[in-house]
Amino acid sequence: MSGQTLLTVILVLAVLAWLAQLVWLFRYAEQQHADPFRVVSGAAIFFIAAAPVAMRSPGLVERLADFWDRLFGGRPQAVAVPRVPARLLING
């Protein structure tokens, strides 16, 4: 096996491990009633160490999530908008 092939295999395995960690963090945040998108966006930058950093240093992950929210505007929060009830315009 050549060096380039070995490096490719290692990189693919690392990316798969990273994605598995992000899915796990998303589900874990849902179980903890936290915003899973904030947890994942804050932890994703740590690549292979995403889950360990999120578990050991949640404040750092939260600060990174705040940074991404400021940079990209964040997700709109669920705001209750008062709506006018629908009315029947045609008799029937």
CA angle 54, 59, 64 (to 5 degrees): 80
**Spans of the chain, pLDDT less than 50:** none
The angle, 0 to 180 degrees and rounded to 10, between the axes of the packed helices 36-43 and 3-31 is 150
Would you state the pLDDT for residue 24?
94
Question: What residues contact 45, with CB distance under 8 A and at least 6 apart?
Answer: 64
Q: What does the pLDDT read at residue 89?
A: 73
Rounded-to-integer distance, Cα 70 and Cα 83, Å? 30
pLDDT of amino acid 71:
87
Domain boundaries, the chain: 3-72
Tell me: the pLDDT tens digits for 58-68?
899 999 989 98
pLDDT of residue 75: 64
Other Cβ atoms closer than 10 A to 18: 18
pLDDT at residue 15 in the model: 94
- Burial-class residue 40 by CB neighbours within 10 Å (0-12, 13-18, 19+): buried
Supply the pLDDT for residue 77.
61
Q: Which of 31, 51, 24 is nearest to 42 (CA)?
A: 51
